A and B are shown apart, each in its own frame.
Chain A
Amino acid sequence: MKQHPITIKPFGSQAILVEWPNKVEEAILEDILQFNTHLKKNYLDGKEWEFVPAYNSLTLIHREGKINFKKLRRDLMEWYTTRKEVESIDHYLWKLPVSYDKEFAIDLEEIAVILNRTEEEIITAHTGHIYTVYGIGFLPGFMYLGGLPEALETPRKSSPRLKVVKGSVGLAGKQTGIYPQESPGGWNIIGNCPIPIFNVKNEDPCFVSVGDKIQFYEISKKRYDLHKIEGEVGIFKMEKIKLNA
């Protein structure tokens, strides 16, 4: 198994931070998720520990607080270097519907001008790529997606909006993503996804996990309205494809 140079730092008295090289790379993310699963399966009880993977880090948070940092660091290093088995982790590709209708895509026209492309070309580029979920955080169900084509990189809006509606699909810098709830925000909004990424009514409130992949597909406004209702009552059939680990 390929080893990366990892560093381990204390993070208050309740948490410990394991860091991989400072790069956005699928191989690093996969190694983090492998180690995460290895720890959960063999060493750290999920009732006592929380595991927060993101990009190049894995943060382990103890429920009650007070961890023995020196011992845990030694153990983690040993557990990392002595791994033999490759854990089987299921990753999925989720296909998410997006309406790029004018009603939602409030910045699409402006973005087309900035990027010197037609609106159709932007939609084609946005739906033509598969994005990797490098982290979930900031707000419940907010996905940090990597893999945006360079042609879609845009600056953030110079002044953020006080209110961006739930489901808004945005572009900002090297990132694209969906606002899981109404919030202030500075991303350029190019569409809206009618399916809630986070739903407290579901047994698993957030179907996406770090390491999964996302692809968007275009739907009409009419289909959007239908999916919105289906999403709310929980009968929307999501297209998901199991990927080989």
Chain B
Amino acid sequence: MLSVTKPGFFSTIQDLGRFNLRHKGVPISGAMDTYSASIANSLLENEESDAVMEITMTGPTLEFHEPAFIVITGAEMSAKLNENPITGYQVHGVNKGDVLSFGKLINGFRCYLAIKNGFLTEEVLGSRSFYKPITKLNRLKEYMEISYDPVADYKPKITYVKPAQFHREQNLKVQHGPEFDLLNDRQLEAIFSGEFTVAKENNRMAYQLEEGIPGHNTTLLTSATLPGTVQLTPSGKLIILMQDGQTTGGYPRILQLTARAISILSQKKFGDKIAFQLR
């Protein structure tokens, strides 16, 4: 078990998400940057479905009460184990009483803490991913305790991989969304010729962009949306739905991000630049 001394800005437990309830309005949830989360799990030879901690912008302070093995991937957040800096993308052994803390955000926006055999928070409707009100919590709370299997003896096959660099990319590869054909030349030009800035309104549900494009007055019947769906509002605002995004919507779905582009965008914060590139 570990205890949360400080929860950080927005830290959650995530796995591959809640499958098979979208027809009842339940978003899939799961790690935002699935690439980083899966590297962390695979370094520990975990199951792909083992739960990791997703840490956003500023990290928590965690005290381990049992031995464990951990890996940190994704954003670089100046992690320290008992005040000693530790490197990401590397397996670290942790002893009883050790304290993991985080400092300055150096790059990216979300980092992933994986633990040997996964975090064992409550599984609700087939997943441990936090999503209120399906789970009681929407993020880690101060003083809460999180269970895991104590592991004192483990010899990892690989102890280190080269840190992924894809967060630094600005281009998001996209495919046509179902309503791509509604776009006129001016809108196409605006989407594919310029850069966009991530707006303050960005979270696990959706990323909004500061710059708009020419609007429209098309009304659609509500239909399914997916993580990575780019919606165009009548006023010309672009909204990119993410892992906790609504399962249906009525705005034209003009573009669809690839899985890799969703991971890249998940590492962007307010003010960062992105561009769309048709695949």
Q: List residues of chain A with CB under 8 Å of any chain B CB.
A: 9-15, 17, 19, 22, 24, 46, 50-57, 59, 61, 63, 65, 134-142, 144, 180-181, 198, 200, 205-206, 210
Which of A12, A55, A135, A138 is in CB contact (< 8 Å) with B226?
A: A12
Which residues of A sit under 8 angstroms from B21, Cβ to Cβ? 140, 205-206
Cα distance A134–B176 in the bound complex, in angstroms: 26
Q: Give A63's nearest chain B residue, CB to CB.
A: B19
Chain A residues whose CB sits within 8 angstroms of the CB of B259 once the complex forms: 13-14, 65
Q: How far is the CA of A220 from the CA of B20 in the complex (A)?
A: 37
Asked whether, in the complex, the Cβ of A54 is within 8 Å of the Cβ of B134, the reply is no
What is the distance, in angstroms, from B249's C-beta to the closest C-beta of chain A?
A: 7
A200 touches B25 (CB 8 A): no
Interface flags, B252-264, vs A, CB<8A=1, else 0:
0100111100000
Partner of B25, one of A56, A61, A139: A139
Instruction: Output the nearest chain B residue to A15 by Cβ-Cβ distance.
Output: B226
Per the CB 8 Å criterion, the residue count for chain B at the interface is: 33
Say yes or no: B221 contacts A56, CB within 8 Å: yes
Which residues of chain B are near A198, meaning CB under 8 Å? Answer: 24-25
Say whether B125 contacts A205, CB under 8 Å.
yes
Taken residue by residue from 195 to 232, chain B's Cβ proximity to chain A (1 for < 8 Å, 0 otherwise) reads as: 00000000000000000000000001111101011000
A52's partner among B22, B134, B176, B220 (CB-CB below 8 A) is B22
A196 to B173, CA, bound (A): 41
Q: Are B25 and A137 in contact (CB under 8 A)?
A: yes
Q: Which of B22, B134, B220 contacts A61 (CB 8 A)?
A: B22
User: Known: A11-B256, A138-B25. Contact between A57 and B224, CB under 8 A?
Assistant: yes
Residue of B nearest to A144 (CB): B222
B146 touches A (CB below 8 Å) = no
B37 to chain A, nearest CB (A): 15
Please state if B25 and A11 are interface contacts (CB–CB under 8 Å): no
Contacts of A59 in B (CB 8 A): 223-224
